[in-house]
């Protein structure tokens, strides 16, 4: 995994879960996953690479990891 910033890497390494977020026609959806690959699978199921995947640590801090 290649990170853009050290903040992203720090949050990723301390992640307790991952969140996949989409906004379609003004409607925001959010789904939580225990593992990065689960969040990415969810995102890729839409086939448009518009799902943003975030790592979240125990304090609730988050960092964008990828689009899926």
pTM of the model: 0.93
Q: Where along the chain do its domains lie? A: 6-67
Q: What pLDDT tens digit does each residue of the chain (68 aa) get? A: 899 999 999 999 999 999 999 998 899 999 999 999 999 999 999 999 999 999 999 999 999 999 99
In this predicted structure, what is the pLDDT of residue 63? 98
Token digits for 66? 């990828």
- State the burial class of residue 27 (Cβ atoms within 10 Å of its Cβ: 0-12, 13-18, 19+): exposed
In this predicted structure, what is the pLDDT of residue 60? 98
């Amino acid at each position: 995994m290649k990170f853009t910033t050290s903040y992203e890497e720090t949050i990723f390494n301390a992640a307790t879960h991952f969140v996949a977020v989409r906004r379609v026609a003004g409607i925001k959806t959010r789904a939580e996953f225990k593992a990065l690959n689960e969040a990415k699978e969810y995102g890729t199921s839409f086939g448009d690479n518009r799902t943003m995947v975030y790592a979240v640590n125990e304090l609730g801090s988050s960092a964008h990891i990828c689009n899926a």
